[in-house]
Amino acid sequence: MKDTGSREHTTQSPTAPSYLADYAHLYGQDPHAAALTWFGDATFGLFLHYGLYSLLGRHEWVMYREAIPLAEYERLQSQFTAAEFDTDFITDLALEAGMRYVNLTTRHHDSFCLFDSAVSDYTSVHSPAQRDLVGELSEQCAQKGLGLFLYYSYALDWRHPYFYSRDVFEMARPAYSEPEPRYKWEKDEDFQHYIDFVHAQIRELLTSYGPLAGMWFDPIMGYYARPDLFPINETYAMIRALQPQALIVFKQGATGTEDFASPEREGRSLADRVRERIGPEAAEVAELAWQGNRDKHNEICDTLQPGAWGYTVADNGAHRGPDEVMEMLANAQEQGFNLLLNTGPLPEGGIHPEDVATLREVGRRLRGNGA
């Protein structure tokens, strides 16, 4: 017979992740509510767009804009060293700037991954860098109490053979003069190959890098073009099941059930732009999603470069300074938004000196005067 004795039985509360340490009591009751409360207080985060495009220094959409052949673009992998991508420095800089979370592009639209993946060898681990940059950043964030969001290009992939074609939406593929032989999509059913790939990678991100602050999906226009192809509710359910505290964002929103929205540069719906570029049915999806998210505590994402997210040589000397960033912070807070501020690391992974100086000065001012 089992001895129950007279001991008092209690259920131990789960240990809160380091970034939620100040919300531990609420986390023990409801991890998701604790994360939402934390995000409402977080105010300021650091965005990093880094990948093969950084080596060229001509915008993160360079493969698409210049219609660089797939085989030619892939050769950049053999040049990717990330020799100066220092996650200790990056996280210290974020803290010095007064930021409370970091967001890294784990896989951008070119499909190159900054993490180890069982379903792709097109990764930083299989480059001269031989490093899992997501893993390194997750360790530093955990040590220093920073929330970690992982950006993932859910609705666009210029390399995967079974992503849909330009006939569906022009942004789906570069405008090559000759057909790319590796592009295999012909009918809607083919898209399941891509979804299987995406779900496998999202599962890897959710199970390999400790407690995450959230998953941050992009680009929303790729979703609005064919929302019926994406099992978005299944994707969201997987995130909720594997990491209950992890917040979900997909720009202005796919369903309106996201935890917050993160429009670019200003808080607004994309419905008018979607109507013009895709059509009225897609615009209705966009508007309904925005209506579901617009009154939440949201986020504006913006850049330290004048417009580009990935490193762009032509912008040297024209990056935003501390006065502009302080104004961006104030404008975001007046609307009830956080500010997610992007820097595009240099080809070797170092942070641009102009951005380092700006972020340090912003942090000095915040410590002196408050946000």
CATH number reported for the structural domain that contains residue 91 in this entry: 3.20.20.80
Residue identified by tokens 């209690």 is 10
230 lies in some domain: yes
10 lies in some domain: no
18 lies in some domain: no
Instruction: Measure the CA–CA gap between 119 and 111, rounded to whole angstroms.
Output: 12
Indicate whether 121 pLDDT > 80. Answer: yes
Contacts of 302 (CB under 8 A, 6+ apart): 264, 265, 328, 339, 340, 341, 342
Q: What 3-state class would DSSP assign to 250?
A: strand
Q: What 3-state class would DSSP assign to 289?
A: helix
* Structural domain range at position 234: 29-369
Instruction: Measure the CA–CA gap between 54 and 348, rounded to whole angstroms.
Output: 8
Beta strands in the chain, from DSSP E residues, in sequence order: 44-48, 101-107, 147-153, 214-218, 247-249, 298-303, 337-343
271-285 pLDDT, tens digit each? 999 999 999 999 999
Question: Which range has the worst mean pLDDT, 62-76, 212-226, 259-273, 357-371?
Answer: 357-371
Concatenating the DSSP letter of every residue in 48-68 gives E--STHHHHTB-TTHHHHTT-
Q: Residue 303 has what pLDDT? A: 98
Using 50, 70 and 90 to split pLDDT, how confident is the model at 4? very low
Using 50, 70 and 90 to split pLDDT, how confident is the model at 14? confident
8 lies in some domain: no
311 lies in some domain: yes
pTM for the model: 0.95
265-319 pLDDT, tens digit each? 999 999 999 999 999 999 999 999 999 999 999 999 999 999 999 999 999 999 9
- Region 351-355 average pLDDT: 98
Number of domains in the chain: 1
353 lies in some domain: yes
22 lies in some domain: no
Indicate whether 76 pLDDT > 70. Answer: yes
* DSSP code of residue 13: P
1 lies in some domain: no
Whole-Å CA distances, 366 to 43, 71, 298, 323, 359: 12, 47, 21, 12, 10
